[in-house]
């Protein structure tokens, strides 16, 4: 809940700007019909937005339109915050239903790092905290999901970077062969898992990619105790609900892009 009531003039300005952004040119009458705001209010808001450089009055076309300055409002909004915003409600819902913690990880150089986690919402988390934890592309479920589904050219670049990594988890014998086998196995299975030999061995993570336009925006994973989920039940109890949530996240991202 907000600490103070919302400022109505700000709400109205954003509503007006959002409506203008949908139209090539809009008149005061158009904006009144679409927003329900009083015409005198619309005129005052338009004059303010013009003064700030976000709107221009086009007398030749007989209306108002947004200027290129509106793009500055999105200069800090890119793939990372978009995917976190889209994934947050589905991750929380998944943990509420299954109890296990869910994480969203983003690529950082030659690894992935957890940028959102529902550990605080999980009563049975194997970890106390994972935010900003570096996870290997070779041994960790969230990392493997990225490596397996990213475009081939990107994967080749990442492998070259891994060859110079100082993390022991990034250096299995014959890295190139391990990556080829990892990609085949993970894609055939439809999800990635943490290497069973990687600590902590009492738990595991199942992860999938969050895709958009043919690239991996993030990876989405659920961590559970091996003793609590029989292998025969993994697909039903973990993989299927994780994939369902992943599909909803991709739909949410697609919807965000069309706003």
pLDDT reading at 104 higher than 90: yes
d(CA 237, CA 209): 19
State pLDDT tens for residues 112-146: 999 999 998 999 998 888 888 899 999 999 999 99
Q: How confident is the model at residue 6 (pLDDT cuts 50, 70, 90)?
A: confident
Are 147 and 178 within 8 A, CB to CB?
A: no
Handedness of CA 129, 130, 134, 140 (dihedral sign): positive
How many CB atoms lie under 10 A from the CB of residue 98? 19
Backbone angles phi, psi at 55, to 5 degrees: -135, 150
pLDDT of residue 79: 56
pLDDT of residue 244: 98
Q: How confident is the model at residue 259 (pLDDT cuts 50, 70, 90)?
A: low
For the chain, what percentages of helix, strand and coil (3-state, to nearest 5) are there?
A: 50, 20, 30
Six-digit token string for 13: 């300005």
Q: What angle do CA 95, 250, 182 make, to 5 degrees?
A: 80
State pLDDT tens for residues 31-65: 999 999 999 999 999 999 999 998 988 776 688 98
- Judge if pTM exceeds 0.95: no
d(CA 254, CA 68): 23
Beta strand 111-117 with 102-108: parallel, antiparallel or unpaired? antiparallel
State pLDDT tens for residues 76-88: 555 567 888 899 9
State pLDDT tens for residues 183-237: 999 999 999 999 999 999 999 999 999 999 899 999 999 999 999 999 999 999 9
């Amino acid at each position: 809940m907000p600490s103070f009531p919302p400022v109505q003039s700000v709400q109205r300005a954003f509503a007006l700007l959002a409506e203008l952004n949908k139209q090539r040119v809009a008149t005061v009458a158009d904006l009144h019909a679409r927003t329900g705001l009083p015409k005198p209010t619309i005129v005052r808001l338009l004059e303010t937005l013009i003064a700030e450089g976000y709107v221009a009055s086009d007398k030749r076309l007989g209306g108002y339109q947004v200027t290129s300055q509106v793009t500055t409002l999105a200069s800090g909004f890119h793939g990372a915050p978009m995917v976190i915003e889209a994934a947050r409600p589905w991750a929380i819902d998944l943990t509420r239903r299954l109890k296990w913690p869910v994480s969203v990880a983003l690529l950082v150089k030659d690894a992935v790092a957890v940028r959102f986690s529902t550990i605080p919402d999980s009563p049975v988390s194997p970890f106390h905290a994972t935010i900003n934890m570096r996870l290997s592309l070779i041994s960790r479920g969230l990392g493997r999901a990225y490596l397996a589904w990213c475009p081939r050219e990107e994967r080749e670049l990442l492998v070259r970077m891994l060859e110079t990594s100082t993390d022991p988890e990034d250096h299995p014998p014959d890295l190139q062969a391990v990556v080829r086998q990892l990609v085949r196995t993970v894609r055939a299975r439809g999800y990635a898992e943490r290497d069973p030999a990687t600590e902590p061995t009492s738990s595991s993570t199942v992860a999938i990619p969050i895709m958009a336009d043919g690239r991996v925006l993030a990876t989405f994973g659920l961590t559970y105790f091996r003793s609590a989920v029989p292998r025969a039940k993994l697909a039903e109890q973990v993989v299927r609900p994780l994939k369902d949530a992943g599909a909803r996240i991709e739909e949410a991202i697609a919807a965000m892009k069309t706003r």
